[in-house]
Structure 1
Amino acid sequence: MPRTTAAQRLLDVRTIYHEPQIEQWARARQVLERFPDAERVEVPSHQDIPGLYGNPGGVERWVRTKREVLVLGEKKSLAARPNGRSADFIAPSTSNGCAMACSYCYVPRRKGFANPVTVFVNIEKIAGYLARHAARQGPKPEPNQCDPTDWVYDLGENGDCSADALVSDNVRDLVDLFAGLEGAKASFATKLVNRDLLDWDPRGGTRVRFSLMPEPMAHRLDLRTSRIPERIAAVNDFVEAGYEVHLNFSPVVVHEQWQAQWAELFEQVDDVLSERAKAQLACEIIFLTHNEQLHEVNLGWHPRGEELLWRSDLQEAKTSHSGQANVRYRAGWKGTWVRQLTDLLASRMPYCRVRYAF
């Protein structure tokens, strides 16, 4: 019996919302041809879809919408925002939303009650902008936590590039771009093992960051994703294919057994990684930040996850820079927990450099 592919498991596209005259873009035509049986619905803007965004009743179809709906639009504003944490710059998005359904994801906070994939079809303009921006930077003057030599551009701030690659060639175009850019590197985090990417030729110009958490937590929180053992097993293959591969240990969710579970995860990683993979490895450690609005949405479709994510006994309120009501682990405790986890990592995987932890 043939195996179900990632695309078949995640996507059964039945409706494509698109902006007017979308077929002027070659990338839009590619997506439409990839899903020929989908109903096409013209809308004023990818951000203005009546009945989809801002509709409280949509939460009951949260996963179904991710599976059955795509949105096509043009990315109007092109800017590479300074970052300095995971990457030097956040690249202009080539997508928004995700086919997967991680219950802690911050992207839906701005969308309301639906979060399907939006593909931005003006990829040529985005790629051209990035090439010019990278050229203007010149050589990196000194190493930083993002990279010792290259300017790093995060490609996947608002989605998952491995999943986006199931929908269009946007991600491949950017991997090809950075394969030929001197002094610049693309980077994206992913929870999906898309082995189609192994056939590309990144030539060291793209950093893939596989996100990992203990399997019991992932089973509750990382819905519609590749399982943790599959992600770990993929690291060696992606290194051999010419990618730089780092790990995102995130989000770290504190609960009564959290340290024992992370110790077990570190042992699993250490047992699987090749010496070549270990030699180039680094990681990011990110403790959970949750959001009040997202918490209310999640209660409508996945309340069991909120038992882990919404812990008033451990968390305190934090207003984000955009004015949203977030919660994070209490400052006095979080610093201790960060040190405990980094010490645990150093004892189990001493070769894994921590680029940052917070």
Structure 2
Amino acid sequence: MALQPRQLGPLMTPRRAAPVPLAERLFDIRTIYHEPGIESFDRAREVLDRHPDAERVVVPSHTAIPGLYGNEGNVVDWVRTKREVLVLGEKKSLAARPNGRSSDWIAPSTANGCAMSCSYCYVPRRKGFANPVTVFANIDRITGYLERHAGRQGPKTVPNQCDPTHWVYDIGENSDCSADALLSDNVSDLVGLFARLPNAKASFATKLVNRQLLDLDPRGGTRVRFSLMPEAMSRVVDVRTSKVAERITAIDDFVEAGYEVHLNLSPVIVHEGWLEEWAHLLDQLADGTSSRTRAQLAAEIIFLTHNEALHEVNLGWHPRGEELLWRPDLQEPKRSQSGQDNVRYRSRWKGRWVAQLEELVAERLPGCRIRYAF
């Protein structure tokens, strides 16, 4: 007797698992270190209320956490610490530092550290063997300082490469604001501030697509710089970030939502075949963005700078990435402005590589202005 084909009923239809919300994918906060009296700040109470089951540990300062920073044994838990630990503190020193590259000014931080684990990141170079997010709770004092500072600048009468008409404040030098926005409303407050300042705009680089930011109303007052590198390289060194293709897909949506969107082509990591990989990425950008987006597009190009101390930390949790980042055959020592001993690509080669990538951008993404490259 011939077998009859089986009928697939509704119960046999395979179900797709619901996507995990972004905040749950990045965070499972189990321990919150906080400074004494942090509950006096509304923002701190809001953050604590979001994690009612987390253990709370009082520490002398957000920079002095016994057993966390400087503890070499923590390196094996590098990623888990980012997922499970949060720090709450007060930003006591407020100053806008002159910059001139990504921005005119570096704003006082409203957070420090990052949920993501890009193995080339400069922020943990100062911390040692752990780099969880610190949220600064005195947001009202920080936004008040920024409003007064911008007011003292007056109109921007001389255009520069940062912006022709507005003073630009980098609000994410020590963190990724897309991730910060999952932990507190600090980023929302900053976007709201710069939406109403007539002479200033905020700016931050990001490797995370947080679509909750599309619900804000930036009114052109915030510049999002999507950090991009070729996908194959990103899969190795951009740990816990959004995929490069997802970042490209999001660019048009952020422009439509009222953000200015630029590109942060960095870090450029030189290896065999690197230029061909960048050509493919630039083609993806040209094909994956609208004419409206490309008309307002600009880019900054930053070649990799690395650090021996961070190299040693990374060997403890992600040695594969160091095979690409630590290249003594291509690198030379560099003393940073902050006094750190770093390494960069050898100057006699780097200048040629920078020019090659600039030419490639002009060819593959015509009209995209390069604000600076180094």
* TM-score over 0.5 (shorter chain): yes
- Partner SS state of residue 280, structure 2: helix
TM-score (norm 1): 0.99
Q: Can you give the 5+ residue segments of structure 2 that lack an aligned partner in the other structure?
A: 1-16
Please state how far the C-alpha of 1:313 moved relative to its aligned partner.
Answer: 0.6
Aligned counterparts of 2:336 and 2:211: Cα–Cα separation in 1: 36
- Partner SS state of residue 341, structure 1: helix
Could you tell me which residue of structure 2 aligns to residue 276 of structure 1? Answer: 292
TM-score (norm 2): 0.95
Aligned counterparts of 1:87 and 1:322: Cα–Cα separation in 2: 18
Match of 2:317 among 279, 292, 301: 301
Could you tell me which residue of structure 1 aligns to residue 13 of structure 2? Answer: none
> Residues 206-355 of structure 1 correspond to what in structure 2 (within 5 A)?
206-355=222-371
What is the CA deviation profile of residues 21-75 of structure 1, one whole-angstrom value per residue up to 9, with x for unaligned ones? 1110000001001111110000010011000000000001000000000000000
> Residues 38-77 of structure 1 correspond to what in structure 2 (within 5 A)?
38-77=54-93
Could you tell me which residue of structure 2 aligns to residue 125 of structure 1? Answer: 141
Matched, 1:19 2:35: yes
- Partner SS state of residue 262, structure 2: strand
Matched, 1:204 2:215: no
Q: Can you give the 5+ residue segments of structure 1 that lack an aligned partner in the other structure?
A: none
Could you tell me which residue of structure 1 aligns to residue 18 of structure 2? Answer: 2
What is the CA deviation profile of residues 200-252 of structure 1, one whole-angstrom value per residue up to 9, with x for unaligned ones? 00000000000000000100000000000000000000000000000100000
Match of 1:167 among 166, 183, 207: 183
Match of 1:150 among 147, 163, 166: 166
Aligned counterparts of 1:192 and 1:131: Cα–Cα separation in 2: 27
Match of 1:114 among 130, 137, 145: 130
Could you tell me which residue of structure 1 aligns to residue 7 of structure 2? Answer: none
Matched, 1:33 2:49: yes
- Partner SS state of residue 316, structure 1: strand
**Count of aligned residue pairs for this structure pair:** 358
What is the CA deviation profile of residues 70-125 of structure 1, one whole-angstrom value per residue up to 9, with x for unaligned ones? 00000000000000111000000000000000000000000000000000000000
What is the CA deviation profile of residues 174-212 of structure 1, one whole-angstrom value per residue up to 9, with x for unaligned ones? 000000001100000000000000000000000000000
Please state how far the C-alpha of 1:160 moved relative to its aligned partner.
Answer: 0.1
**Which structure's CA Rg is the greater one?**
2
Aligned counterparts of 2:307 and 2:170: Cα–Cα separation in 1: 23
Aligned counterparts of 2:335 and 2:190: Cα–Cα separation in 1: 34
Poorly superposed stretches of 4+, deviation over 2 Å: none
The percent of aligned pairs where both chains have the same amino acid is 74
Aligned counterparts of 1:342 and 1:281: Cα–Cα separation in 2: 15
Match of 1:96 among 112, 130, 139: 112
- Partner SS state of residue 322, structure 1: coil
Q: Which letter does structure 1 place at the counterpart of 2:363?
A: S
Could you tell me which residue of structure 1 aligns to residue 153 of structure 2? Answer: 137
Aligned counterparts of 2:159 and 2:348: Cα–Cα separation in 1: 31
Q: Which letter does structure 1 place at the counterpart of 2:347?
A: A
Aligned counterparts of 2:21 and 2:294: Cα–Cα separation in 1: 29
Q: For the aligned residues, what is the CA RMSD? A: 0.5
Q: Which letter does structure 1 place at the counterpart of 2:336?
A: S
